[in-house]
Amino acid sequence: MNKRNALKLIAIYALLTGAIGLIPACSKQGPSFAGIDLTGADYAKDFALTDHNGQPRTLKDFAGKVVVMFFGYVQCPDVCPTSMAELAEVKRLLGKDGERVQGLFVTVDPARDTPEVLKGYMAAFDPTFLALYTTPEKLAVLAKDYKVYYKKVEGPTPTSYSMDHSAGSFVYDTQGKLRLYNRYGSGAALLAADIKLLLQQ
């Protein structure tokens, strides 16, 4: 064997070895999500809240559906309405599969966001979306469990304050397991693709 052929064989061997080394990474278990994968997280496992119709709610109520849960408030000028409109678009993109998606909006402003206000707010986006609320004390406990930040920012009058809060959605699979954190501004198409993967499992 001449030197040139020997070098060719060495190069081929190196390529094959590298390719074989990549096989485990390419065949790893589980889908690849656009959102932040939280599979196996030991927090945000459930909640006990009341919806805008006065019904107590937990994750078990939505078994068989992918649940997308967002923390916000009705008077939010941008992030909240954008996120809810995006979720409504996700349902549209999914077609019939959109019927298996449940949008939840948890208010961080229970003082102003009464059930009537919340009901009207949800109707502006999708009639199947539910707004959830609880007492300020229980909200603080829930937010800590979900690692959600919120803080009242005083305005010129006692009722014209705003709320700083985390921007992003928690996504649960059809078994009620926390799977993803969808960052604000990711876009409806990417979230729809992630939800489609969860619905296929």
In this prediction, residue 201 carries a pLDDT of 87
In this prediction, residue 123 carries a pLDDT of 96
Read off the CATH number of the domain in which 57 is found: 3.40.30.10
Q: Could you give the number of structural domains in the chain? A: 1
In this prediction, residue 29 carries a pLDDT of 62
How far apart are alpha carbons 106 and 139 in whole angstroms? 9
Q: Is 52 annotated as belonging to a binding site?
A: no
**HEC string of 65-109?**
CEEEEEEECCCCCCHHHHHHHHHHHHHHHHHHHHHHEEEEEEECC
- Domain-embedded: residue 58: yes
Residue showing tokens 């997308």: 68
Specify the pTM. 0.84
- Domain-embedded: residue 7: no
In this prediction, residue 18 carries a pLDDT of 43
In this prediction, residue 47 carries a pLDDT of 98
- Domain-embedded: residue 68: yes
- Domain-embedded: residue 3: no
Q: Residues of the chain whose pLDDT is less than 70?
A: 1-30
In this prediction, residue 31 carries a pLDDT of 75
What's the domain range around 77?
Answer: 36-200
- Domain-embedded: residue 9: no
- Domain-embedded: residue 95: yes
Q: Is 26 annotated as belonging to a binding site?
A: no
In this prediction, residue 75 carries a pLDDT of 96
In this prediction, residue 17 carries a pLDDT of 39
In this prediction, residue 66 carries a pLDDT of 98
3-state SS of the chain: helix, strand, coil percent to 5?
40, 20, 35
- Domain-embedded: residue 5: no
- Domain-embedded: residue 43: yes
Q: Output the CA angle 57-51-48, nearest 5 degrees.
A: 35
In this prediction, residue 60 carries a pLDDT of 97
